[in-house]
Amino acid sequence: MPADNELWPAWLPIRSELRELKPYGAPQIANVIHLNTNENPFELPKAVAEALRARIEVIASSLNRYPDRDAATLRTDLANYINLAAGTDFDLNNVWAANGSNEILQTLLLACGGVDSLVLGFTPSYSVHPLIAKITGTPWKSGSRNADFTLDAPAAVLEISTIAPALVFITTPNNPTGNALAINEIRELAIAALNVGALLVVDEAYQEFSNELSAVTLISEFPNIVVTRTMSKAFAFAGARVGYLIARPEVIDAMLIARLPYHLSSLTQAAAQVALKHQSELQAEVQILIAERNRIAAAIIALGLSVIPSSANFLLFTGFRKSAELLWQEFLDGGVLIRDVGLPGYLRVTVGTAAENDHFLALLQRLAP
């Protein structure tokens, strides 16, 4: 797709604000170790794959029919999953599901964004947030972080109060930095947002890897908190595309207005329900990844480099003398694809299997000092 203004043909009425954009996406390269998109490295356990096959066989003959438009059973299962983890009391009226949390965020901004609704986010953070804002015609403002990428909660509260946005986005654990907010910090942001009539959107894509309490526990107190989640990471289900949102029922009603009819296929709904049934097997792998994350972090530090403390399934590291671009290329030449997130002097690595992580660490030892 042409990204250059000159290359868009005169007959194509692409919106002027999109003309300078390039399609988003990390490189997809064959025959290398993929540690660049924060996927879960484990294939689905045999029992889960078997159960999926059996379920698809059952629903295959009814694919002539549209899916349950409102995905009621899946939303109930997701509410139960959250309640079990967080001790909350949600039901399907508090949950909305879609094709990945990216679609959740886009639908949310279709419903609550737009030209008159400023979004405030604290960068560096998930780079798709400002992109979705742009695509939905919603103005975006970047708030700041500390030099070590932690969020200065009192400064953020001040920014919310003075800027008075319609929506505030926070990501915790944050991508690409890995650090998480404490629940009392989220509460402070929620109060500030409520005072200016803003929604606080908490992107918890990596929550299962964190020890901090989820923001879902604040929803009964704060109507303006919306939490987005995904099955792409902890459930090893990125290819199935399932994300969801937890919020007050009024937010779900707004999502129902903005969603496309039949947006979530019968196959996706059924697959997600099977994965949720097998949550304990899948969650066991999260513990392995946390242990591997801590092992890699210690090894990076032992090499004399620095790493941002991570509550997610990836690590942002620094302290190498080469440019990030050069080191990224050298890693690729050595057969490991990591992520240059555009922060000078930093690279991000996703936690892989033990063997993949060993390969990464061996390369790091050879290339980085």
Strand-pair category, 95-98 with 33-34: unpaired
Residue 168 three-state SS: strand
352 binding ligand PLP? (CB under 6 A): no
Give the nearest distance from C-beta 22 to ligand PLP in angstroms.
Answer: 18
Check if the beta carbon of residue 350 is closer than 8 Å to that of residue 339. Answer: yes
Between 39 and 68, how does the x/- string for binding to ligand PLP read (CB under 6 A)? ------------------------------
Pick one of 191, 194, 238, 288: the residue that binds ligand PLP (CB under 6 A): 238
* Minimum CB distance to ligand PLP smaller for 107 or for 363: 107
- Distance between CA atoms of residues 44 and 275, nearest Å: 9
Comparing CB distances to ligand PLP, the nearer of 213 and 299 is: 213
* Residue-wise DSSP of 281-296: HHHHHHHHHHHHHHHH
Shortest distance, CB of residue 100 to ligand PLP, whole angstroms? 3
> Closest CB to ligand PLP among 320 and 340?
340
Contact pick of 113, 121, 124, 243 for ligand PLP (by CB under 6 A)? 243
Q: Omega of the bond prior to 173 within 30 degrees of 0, cis?
A: yes
Position 297: which residue type?
A: A
**What would the DSSP string read from start to end of 304-337?**
T-EE---SSSEEEEE--SS-HHHHHHHHHHTTEE
Are the beta carbons of 324 and 346 closer than 8 angstroms?
A: yes
- Answer for which of 138, 175, 207, 268 binds ligand PLP (CB under 6 A) is 175
Q: How far is the CB of 172 from ligand PLP (least distance, A)?
A: 9
CB 246 within 8 A of CB 95: yes
What letter does residue 334 receive in the DSSP assignment?
T
Q: Which two tokens stand for residue 143?
A: 């708030």
**DSSP string for 212-223:** SPPGGGGTTT-T
- Closest CB to ligand PLP among residues 179, 230: 230
Q: Can residue 140 be called a binding residue for ligand PLP (CB under 6 A)?
A: no
Closest approach of Cβ 101 to ligand PLP, in Å? 4
171 binds ligand PLP (CB under 6 A): yes
Q: Taking the complex as a whole, how short is the minimal distance between the CB of residue 274 and ligand PLP, in angstroms?
A: 17
Site membership for ligand PLP, residue 38 (CB under 6 A): yes
What lies within 8 Å, CB to CB, of 212 at 6+ separation is 172, 173, 180, 181, 182, 183, 311
Pairing of strands 167-171, 199-203: parallel
CB of 132 to ligand PLP, least distance (A): 10
Cβ-based nearer residue to ligand PLP, 143 or 320: 143
Residue type, 75: R
Chain centroid offset of residue 43 CA: 20
In total, the chain counts a number of residues equal to 369
Q: Which of 123, 232, 273, 311 binds ligand PLP (CB under 6 A)?
A: 232
Number of residues that bind ligand PLP (CB under 6 A): 13
- Select 125 or 224, whichever has its Cβ closest to ligand PLP: 125
Question: Residues 77 to 116: which contact ligand PLP by CB under 6 A?
Answer: 100-102
**Which residue in 77, 159, 185, 203 binds ligand PLP (CB under 6 A)?**
203
In three-state secondary structure terms, 366 is helix
174 vs 368, which CB is nearer to ligand PLP? 174
Applying CB under 6 A, does 205 fall inside the site for ligand PLP? yes
Rounded to the nearest 10 degrees, what angle do helices 266-277 and 279-302 cross at? 80
Which residues lie across from 74 on neighbouring strands?
Answer: none
The amino acid present at 333, given as its one-letter code, is D
Q: Which residue is nearest to ligand PLP (CB)?
A: 100
- 230: contact with ligand PLP by CB under 6 A: yes
If one counts every other C-beta atom within 10 angstroms of the C-beta of residue 311, the result is: 19
Binding site for ligand PLP (CB under 6 A): 38, 100-102, 126, 171, 175, 203, 205, 230, 232, 238, 243
